[in-house]
Amino acid sequence: MVSFYEWLRVVLVTAVMIPLVYLFTRYFGRRYTGLMHGRNFAILEQFPVDQHNKLLLARLINKYYVLSSSAKGLEVLLEITDPELVAELTEQARKPESGSSWFQALFNQRPQ
């Protein structure tokens, strides 16, 4: 039979571990996110396709790519080469308040 002191020990260890895990994930989560946005590389937008897959708009130096992120890894779907679109993306990427609507608009454009 489990004694009162063993239960108390389990409760106290749990009470100490939960805040430690929370602080640990907050600290390392910020550090990891910082790696996704550097001077020459940035993930500008994420568009979830389903629970395990998403589309990413990435900037590498002065080029823009649409990537597919899945359990299998990353795959380059296309490089954006249209100078007007690249200029628009560069402008929108500089605006911190810009939402994902401009990334979604990229997929709504019809080829000419």
- Of residues 52 and 2, which shows the higher confidence score? 52
Report, as an integer, the average pLDDT of 1-10.
86
Report, as an integer, the average pLDDT of 80-93.
79
Distance, CA of 108 to CA of 49 (rounded, Å)? 15
Size of the chain in residues: 112
Percent of residues, the chain, with pLDDT higher than 70: 72
Q: What is the pTM of this model?
A: 0.53
Q: Which two tokens stand for residue 18?
A: 């939960």
- Of residues 104 and 36, which shows the higher confidence score? 104
By DSSP bridging, strand 73-80 and strand 54-60 are unpaired
With cut-offs at 50, 70 and 90, classify the pLDDT of residue 34.
very low
